[in-house]
Amino acid sequence: MKNNNKLSSPTIWFHWLTGLAFLTVLGIGLSFDYIPKGPSKGELMGIHKSLGVIVFVIATLRIIWRFKEGPITSLSAQQTWQDKAAKGIHHLLLLSTVLMPISGIVMTIAGGRNLSVFGAEVISAGEKIPALASAFNTIHHYAAFTVLVIVLIHIAASIKHHVIDKDRVLSRMLGR
């Protein structure tokens, strides 16, 4: 990055677009346990899967952009453990935004279903691989709760920076 205090527009846009899309898909996914089986749930599952594929594409582009731009530098002097924790959380978030959709995609394909994005077939249905589908279903399900905790830590840290530290971390991510 050329200016350590200012973030590029693509960095900011990728952050918010990935975050909002990922949280939307995560919220839809977490709601499945509370929705009875039926056509409405099936439609919602289609939306969840379609948005998941889109999140995968956006998150992959974001990671490519991150490699091009380099890591975001810290604005505040933090203790070593806080700096390491912040970097760890950011890496986990970047990884999660790619691995969660991949686990869903593998689960779908291994379940013998086609992968489509809002009705446009991306990968045709193949033979079922029940053990693989089951394994990735478990991964996808439990990873969702893990990612939710990581996201909440990220949001709490952002609020801490803004309210307690009164640094420009949140303002910078808002493009100010």
Domain that holds residue 60: 9-173
Does a structural domain hold residue 3? no
Does a structural domain hold residue 2? no
Does a structural domain hold residue 168? yes
Q: What is the pLDDT of residues 67-91, one digit of tens each?
A: 888 777 766 666 788 778 878 888 8
Domain total for the chain? 1
The domain that holds 90 is classified in CATH as: 1.20.950.20
Average pLDDT over the chain, rounded to an integer: 85
- What string of DSSP letters covers 78-105? --HHHHHHHHHHHHHHHHHHHHHHHHHH
Does a structural domain hold residue 140? yes
**Residue 157 — very low, low, confident or very high, per pLDDT cuts 50/70/90?**
confident
Does a structural domain hold residue 4? no
Does a structural domain hold residue 1? no
Q: What is the pLDDT of residues 96-151, one digit of tens each?
A: 888 999 999 999 999 999 999 998 999 888 899 999 999 999 999 888 888 888 88
